[in-house]
Every structure is written in structure tokens, then in C-alpha cells.
């Protein structure tokens, strides 16, 4: 979706879909899945906001991508420093 600018408005629908999965994971105490979906939510919100819609998600949505990626890595047993290297562009 990121490579197809024309699909960005569909990111709102993607967020809705992922949000339902997040809620189910939360209710089911599926900590790893919930962490993954929260990362995906932040990405979808950010992508939608790049469309400059008149009804965007919160303006701080993009600031949640990295913290959610770090949490997701930790919950999945991955090295959070891998996320740091990706964000820093050194990976």
C-alpha cells in the first residue's frame, strides 16, 4: 500500500479492519498479537493522514509507530535494537 499512493485513502478501512483484530486480541489476552496489531494501526493511521483528509486521525499517530514497533519486537522476543537500526537507517 505504501508504494501505491492512490490506495492511501483505503488505509482508513485497513485501520478499521486491524482495529477489530486488536480488540479481539486484547479480549483474548493475546499479548503478542495485540502488540503487532497496535503497530499496524499506527501505520495505517499515518498512511491515511498522508492523504490530507478533512477527517484525519489524531495528528500524533505517526509518533506511535516506533514505540509500537519496539513493544512489538519485545513481545515477540525480537531484539529491539533491530528496530532502532531500521529506524536509524543503519540496517
pLDDT averaged over every residue in the chain: 96
Any residues with CB less than 8 A from the CB of 41 and at least 6 apart, and which? 15, 18, 19, 22, 68
> Which residue is associated with the grid cell 513481545?
75
pLDDT interval class at 91 (50, 70, 90):
confident
Task: List, for residues 26-64, the tens digit of each pLDDT value.
Answer: 999 999 999 999 999 999 999 999 999 999 999 999 999
The pLDDT > 90 percentage for the chain reads: 98
| Dist. CA 31–CA 70, nearest whole Å | 14
Amino acid at each position: 500500500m505504501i508504494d501505491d499512493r492512490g490506495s492511501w485513502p483505503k488505509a482508513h478501512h485497513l485501520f478499521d479492519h486491524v482495529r477489530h483484530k486488536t480488540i479481539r486480541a486484547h479480549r483474548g489476552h493475546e499479548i503478542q498479537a495485540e502488540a503487532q496489531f497496535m503497530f499496524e494501526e499506527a501505520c495505517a493511521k499515518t498512511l491515511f493522514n498522508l492523504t490530507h483528509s478533512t477527517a484525519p486521525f489524531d495528528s500524533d499517530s505517526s509518533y506511535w509507530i516506533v514505540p509500537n514497533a519496539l513493544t512489538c519486537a519485545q513481545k515477540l522476543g525480537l531484539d529491539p535494537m533491530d528496530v532502532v537500526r531500521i529506524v536509524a537507517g543503519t540496517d
